[in-house]
């Protein structure tokens, strides 16, 4: 709060206050001091400035998910304050295992080719410090997760009865160490997508009737790291031969 204050004594001081600046730019206030002697005569005026810089806050922090072999790009950092700088570092996790080229840096993070040559997702935590002028801003964190791509073989069986729905498609020898997989396919113009538990490296999609199943793909549940397979056609049993009369 600005105003006029009267203070007494040889070592008189300006009242303490809590600095605040919720804008996007530095704010300054000019303080002038006029000493008076015991007779009320003014001395030479002395002035100084107090500058309160804004606190910078990161405004676009989010978590990222990539697939093994994909191009990974982290969005440029943004703040509510202009003219800021950014320092980032890997707080936790194996940064080299996901293909990141450095453990820390200044400015925006470099793009990299995501890598995961294991059978499980790999996550690292990034810590970002934003600085405005001489003031440190917020310290934020986000995660980068890279999923491996599944490998598998496919088997299928057509319905055993006319217009039956006991057909199935089976993904075998799945290589990822995950509890569930997401399977997606197109049938009769409709996209079907569902999570399935994995049992001994096998995911079985059951309850299927005759028809063409296209755009079949599978990924670890929670990711969009799909691997596609060929179209599959399920058919009803052959009709009996026409009797001879």
pLDDT tens-place string over residues 70-115: 999 999 999 888 888 999 999 999 999 999 999 999 999 999 999 9
Give 26's pLDDT tier (boundaries 50, 70, 90). Answer: confident
3-class DSSP state of 97: helix
CB of 169 closer than 8 Å to CB of 216? yes
- Among 54-58, 143-147, 187-191, the range scoring the smallest mean pLDDT is 54-58
Residue 217 CA from chain centroid, whole number: 24
The structure tokens 């204050």 sit at 5
Task: Give me the phi and psi of 205, to 5 degrees please.
Answer: -95, 115
- Among 22-31, 72-81, 116-125, 175-184, the range scoring the smallest mean pLDDT is 22-31
CA angle 147, 151, 156 (to 5 degrees): 130
- Where in 34-179 does DSSP place strands (E)? 46-52, 64-67, 71-72, 85-92, 104-106, 112-113, 122-132, 135-147, 153-157, 167-172
Instruction: Answer yes or no: is pLDDT of 14 > 80.
Output: no
């Amino acid at each position: 709060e600005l105003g006029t204050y009267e203070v007494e004594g040889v070592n008189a001081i300006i009242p303490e206050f809590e600095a605040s600046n919720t804008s996007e730019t530095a704010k300054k206030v000019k303080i002038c001091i006029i000493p008076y002697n015991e007779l009320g005569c003014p001395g030479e005026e002395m002035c100084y400035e107090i500058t309160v810089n804004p606190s910078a806050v990161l405004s676009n922090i989010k978590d990222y998910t990539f697939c093994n072999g994909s191009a990974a790009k982290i969005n440029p950092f943004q703040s509510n304050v202009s003219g800021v700088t950014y320092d980032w570092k890997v707080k936790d996790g194996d940064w080299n295992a996901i293909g990141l080229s450095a453990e820390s840096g200044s400015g925006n993070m470099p793009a990299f080719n995501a890598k995961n040559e294991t059978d499980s997702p790999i996550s690292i935590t990034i810590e970002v410090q934003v600085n405005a002028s001489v003031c440190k801003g917020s310290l934020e964190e986000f995660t980068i997760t890279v999923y491996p791509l599944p490998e598998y073989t496919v088997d299928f069986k057509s319905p055993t009865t006319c217009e039956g729905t006991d057909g199935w498609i089976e993904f075998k020898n799945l290589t990822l160490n995950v509890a569930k997989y997401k399977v997606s396919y197109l049938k009769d113009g409709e996209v079907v997508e569902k999570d399935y538990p994995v049992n001994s490296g096998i995911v079985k999609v059951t309850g299927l009737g005759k028809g063409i199943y296209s755009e079949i793909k599978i990924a670890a549940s929670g990711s969009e790291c799909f691997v596609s397979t060929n179209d599959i056609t399920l058919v009803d049993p052959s009709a009996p031969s026409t009797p001879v009369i």
